[in-house]
Each structure stands twice: as structure tokens, then as C-alpha cells.
């Protein structure tokens, strides 16, 4: 039996943050009833067509769910949703600020009929404060949280290549829901969870926040190199690129002697400590690049392995699909979709994960409403 079997989650969700949260719950066995608009549904369905005609975002975040379409502007459909929530254990939503309160779907109202209900609201800025009503999307929160100020090159900030703010909020929502379920087991009472995308990213920004404490200068943008540890970053080799990481003075000595084969470099007064190596990174990078740039990737990996220095090649998406470690650990499975079966990854730590189809929009509407003794508007 999976940990969350027999748990009913109703989700009024769109985009990434809430769908990613509920997919984690589905992986553990929870039943997810995903409420979508009759026209268009979750707008993430239209982000792209790269997954054999389907949205790559939607396929990733929405397996193992049941899709029910309801028009919440119609009284009967809104009442049908309220009836579902009377039977639910968890309600997750990330609509625009204030929408669920106007619809009577806030925790205070819902708890009157279902005191054990856990309500998780995900928004850009959280309830209260001057920014409560602002709409928010991933890139905007990357900007406002300070993430963009630290990511990129000296000349230009760059966004993360994934929806990092949405993922952060979704994972905090997921962990808070698990905590609330444990709490409810003791008290019998549900509660409200208020997840802010800004706060999720601000928590992840805590290292640079402390680094810039008391008005100190923040870490600089250094491309694919670490801002404060060096050498820790990207280096070119004859047939590709590699990232290596020197974390301490012992590894620095090993890099000089066994990888660069310049043992005397260890005692160069410009590079004796990490702080000095970071300050003098331009000169040091030129020295390291002079050696590594004349070697093949295989040769560099061999030297780094001998020196016991951590390294990684820079993979493409094609490389990741074919990664030897994911294959060796049997992390790939198959998920059914409207376009046929697709490969999918097991969630980290999971081996007996629930993997059910990615749903077509509204495909479960009639069956779910009949099960709960309801009927859609116009039926």
C-alpha cells in the first residue's frame, strides 16, 4: 500500500506550482481530482507541443490525475465543486489572488462543512501585505527574489532554464501538506497552508542574503563558475566541456600535483587559500585552461578521478535521456498519455510510485460526478 492511498485531493490548479505539488501527492498514491475550465482547461496544456503534440510542461506535472471540467461561473458547477470538497482531505489551488474567497472556496468557509479539510493556497506573494493582490509568474519571482541578480554573466543576468520559482513553491506546498496530514492524525482538524512563491525563493536565496549581510557586496554573476569558491566551474577540453569542483586545500593540492602536474602552483602566494583563489580567478583560470584545453575529456576525467576531485561533464538533454546512472538504477518507467506511452522518471527516493495516465481535458467529468451523486450543469 502506498503512503497516501485513500487520500482524496481536489485541485483547482494551473501552470506549474500547484500541479507539481499534487503530482508528488499522486506519486505516493493520493487520488487527485483536477478541476479544469471547460474551454482550454489548464492553460499549461497550450505552452508547447513538443511531447508528441502535447505540452512538455503538462505531461511532466500532471500524470496520475483525473480531469474534471467545471464552469465555476455556473451555480450548479460551483456547488458540485463544493460538494466534492466536503468529501476531500486536501484542497490545493493557485488561481489569481482573491478568486477562491469570492467563490466561497476559502478555508474558513469550507471548514464549516468539512473541518478536517486541509486547504493549501499557492500565490505569488501570500496573504496580507501590499503585494497580496499582484499576479505572479515564475520569471517575475526569479527577478523579484534577487535570483536574476546573481545568475548569468558579468554583463547580463540570465533566468534559470527551468521554472525554479514554481518548483520551489510546489515542493514547499507538498511538504507542508504532508506535515498537516500528520498533524490532523493527532487533532482531527485540518488547517490552511499559505504558500508564497516569493517566500519559497527567498528561502533558497539565504546564502547570498547572509553573504551580503549588513550592506556587504553580494556575490557577483560569474556564469557557470561558482561566485565565491574557485576553481569550481566550467572548463573547456579538446572535445567538450567539464565542470570541476575544488572545495578545500587538500583538493587544491591534488589538482596542482595530479591534474595540472604543476605541484609548485599549490604554494603560489596568489592561490594559497580559497579566498585568494577566488580573488585571482582570472589568472588561475588561464593557468588551468592552459592544461585542460590541450587534453581530451577522457584524459581530464581520468586525471580528476585519480586525484579524487569531483567533476561532471556538461550534459545535453539527449545525454540526460541516455544517462548511464539513471539506467543502472532503473529510474525510468512508462506513462500512458493521449498521444501514447512516454518514458517518465521515478520521483527521487520512490521505487513503488503510482504512475497512471496523463489525462485528456475533462475525460473523467461524468464518472467522477456520478460517483459523488452529482451532475454537471445542463445534464
User: Catalytic: 226?
Assistant: yes
Q: In 3-state terms, what secondary structure has residue 34? A: strand
What DSSP designation does 44 have?
Answer: G
CA 54 to centroid of chain Cα atoms: 20
- Start-end of H helices in the chain: 17-27, 56-61, 75-87, 99-102, 107-113, 138-144, 147-150, 164-187, 197-204, 206-211, 249-254, 274-279, 281-292, 297-307, 317-321, 324-328, 365-371
Q: In angstroms, rounded to a whole number, what is the distance separating the alpha carbons of residues 142 and 198?
A: 8
Cα pseudo-dihedral 326, 331, 335, 341, rounded to 10 = 40
Dihedral (Cα; 342, 347, 352, 355), 10-degree rounding:
-30
* In the block, residue with C-alpha cell 577522457: 298
Q: Which residues of 92-117 are buried (b: 16+ CB within 10 A; e: fewer)?
A: bbbbebeebeebebbbeebbeebeeb
Helix (H, G, I), strand (E, B) or coil at 126: coil
- Catalytic site residue from 57, 107, 226, 323: 226
How far is the C-alpha of 14 from the C-alpha of 11, rounded, in Å? 9
* CA distance linking residue 296 with residue 278, whole number of Å: 26
Separation CA 223–CA 152 (nearest Å):
5
Whole-angstrom Cα distance, residue 121 to residue 311?
A: 40
H-run or E-run covering 11: strand 8-12
| 8 A C-beta contact, residue 91 and residue 10 | yes
Q: What is the rounded CA–CA span in Å between residue 111 and residue 189?
A: 9
Active site residues: 226
Amino acid at each position: 500500500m502506498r503512503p497516501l492511498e485513500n487520500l482524496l485531493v481536489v485541485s483547482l490548479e494551473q501552470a506549474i506550482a500547484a500541479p507539481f505539488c499534487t503530482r508528488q501527492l499522486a506519486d505516493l498514491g493520493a487520488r487527485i481530482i483536477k478541476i479544469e475550465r471547460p474551454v482550454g482547461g489548464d492553460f499549461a496544456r497550450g505552452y508547447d507541443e513538443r511531447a508528441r503534440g502535447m505540452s512538455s510542461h503538462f505531461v511532466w506535472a500532471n500524470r496520475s490525475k483525473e480531469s474534471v471540467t467545471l464552469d465555476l461561473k455556473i451555480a450548479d458547477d460551483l456547488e458540485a465543486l463544493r460538494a466534492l470538497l466536503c468529501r476531500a482531505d486536501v484542497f490545493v489551488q493557485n488561481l489569481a489572488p482573491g478568486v477562491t474567497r469570492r467563490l466561497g472556496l476559502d478555508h474558513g468557509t469550507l471548514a464549516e462543512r468539512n473541518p478536517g479539510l486541509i486547504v493549501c493556497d499557492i500565490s505569488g506573494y501570500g496573504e496580507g501585505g501590499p503585494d497580496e493582490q499582484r499576479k505572479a509568474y515564475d520569471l517575475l519571482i526569479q527577478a523579484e527574489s534577487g535570483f536574476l541578480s546573481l545568475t548569468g554573466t558579468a554583463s547580463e543576468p540570465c533566468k534559470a532554464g527551468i521554472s525554479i520559482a514554481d518548483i520551489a513553491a510546489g515542493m514547499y506546498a507538498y511538504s507542508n501538506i504532508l506535515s498537516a496530514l500528520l498533524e490532523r492524525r493527532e487533532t482531527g482538524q485540518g488547517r490552511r497552508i499559505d504558500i508564497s512563491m516569493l517566500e519559497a525563493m527567498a528561502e533558497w536565496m539565504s546564502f547570498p542574503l547572509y553573504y551580503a549581510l549588513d550592506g556587504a557586496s553580494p556575490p557577483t554573476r560569474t556564469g557557470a563558475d561558482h561566485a565565491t569558491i574557485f576553481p569550481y566551474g566550467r572548463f573547456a577540453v579538446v572535445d567538450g566541456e567539464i565542470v570541476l569542483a575544488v572545495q578545500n586545500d587538500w583538493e587544491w593540492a591534488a589538482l596542482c600535483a595530479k591534474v595540472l602536474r604543476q605541484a609548485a602552483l599549490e604554494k603560489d602566494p596568489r592561490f594559497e587559500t580559497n579566498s585568494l583563489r577566488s580573488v585571482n580567478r582570472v589568472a588561475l583560470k588561464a593557468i588551468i585552461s592552459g592544461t585542460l584545453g590541450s587534453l581530451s575529456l577522457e584524459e581530464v576525467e581520468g586525471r580528476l578521478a585519480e586525484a579524487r576531485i569531483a567533476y561532471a561533464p556538461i550534459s545535453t538533454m539527449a545525454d540526460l535521456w541516455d544517462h548511464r546512472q539513471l539506467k543502472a538504477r532503473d529510474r525510468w518507467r512508462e506513462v500512458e498519455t493521449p498521444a501514447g506511452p512516454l518514458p517518465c522518471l521515478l520521483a527521487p527516493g520512490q521505487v513503488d510510485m503510482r504512475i497512471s495516465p496523463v489525462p485528456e481535458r475533462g475525460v473523467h467529468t461524468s464518472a467522477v460526478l456520478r460517483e459523488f451523486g452529482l451532475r454537471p450543469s445542463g445534464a
